Amino acid sequence: MPENHLTPEHATISPAILYWGTPVVLVSTENEDLSFNIAPISSAWWLGNRCMLGLLSVSHTTKNLLRTKQCVLNLPSDDMTDKVNALARTTGSKEILTATAIEPLYYFKKSNGYQYVKDKFSHANLTPVKSDIVRPARAMECPVQMEGELVGVHEMMQDVEGEVLFAMEIKVLRTHVHENIRKSGTKNRIDTDKWRPMIMSFSELYGLKAKKADESELAEMEEEAYRGFSNPAEVDLM
């Protein structure tokens, strides 16, 4: 084993959460009564045309996804904190109304001020608009809206007793973006100088206010070169 040479600049800690900085996603799903739920998710990452969502097994969004296999991944911009905060401590699960200490997750939410909200689109002043392929509504105010289907569910933390965490694989079927974040002169590219995603870092909301750190070597490549193995589903849509 190497010798332990801790410098004054480093300390050994045990954070309760490990959210180092990920985009906020507002996931809309369909409820059993055919109305729509929308919930903020901070555990999300992309590879190709797939998005992995980290969700609790008892989450209302999880239950809707497992039942219908459909969702919309709405990405808010960093000026939409009022919408995200309005949804932050809400749930579409009625179980919270009668939660007791023997139901840890619902009780945790109840004791921390979560409220059951039936119409969360209205609660957050978001406008539902019809999707092209899936049933859940898109959120008009979000600059990016990706219609998707659930194609895989992976149980996480099986070595820990308690609530199950799911990594849910979403295949992006169709992408809608506001015109003002499209890159001029291109069909399918986003202008990264105009797109301002909302980022969650350790429960705080941040935006990308600073200028680019430097020019990117990867950005010198033609973006469409990735098309064959990254996102072939949408190549002929525009």
CA distance 20 to 203: 10
Please report whether residue 164 resides in a domain: yes
pLDDT digits (tens, 9 = 90+) for 59-82: 899 999 999 999 999 999 999 999
Please report whether residue 129 resides in a domain: yes
pLDDT digits (tens, 9 = 90+) for 145-174: 999 999 999 998 887 776 678 999 999 999
CA distance 52 to 165: 12
> Domain tally for the chain?
1
Please report whether residue 106 resides in a domain: yes
CATH number, domain of 26, equals 2.30.110.10
CA distance 28 to 120: 10
pTM: 0.87
pLDDT confidence of residue 238:
45
Split the chain (238 residues) into runs of 10 and give each run's mean pLDDT. 68 83 95 96 93 91 96 96 92 71 64 82 97 98 98 87 84 96 91 92 83 65 66 57
Please report whether residue 15 resides in a domain: no
pLDDT confidence of residue 4:
64
Please report whether residue 147 resides in a domain: yes
CA distance 157 to 163: 9
Please report whether residue 82 resides in a domain: yes
Q: Report the candidate in 86, 23, 101, 97 with the shortest Cα–Cα distance to residue 60.
A: 97
Are 170 and 149 contacting, i.e. CB atoms less than 8 angstroms apart? yes
SS (H, E, C) 7-44: CCCCCCCCCCCCCCCEECEEEEEECCCCCEEEEEECCE
Q: Which residues constitute the domain of residue 90?
A: 22-210+219-226
Please report whether residue 13 resides in a domain: no
pLDDT confidence of residue 16:
81
Please report whether residue 89 resides in a domain: yes
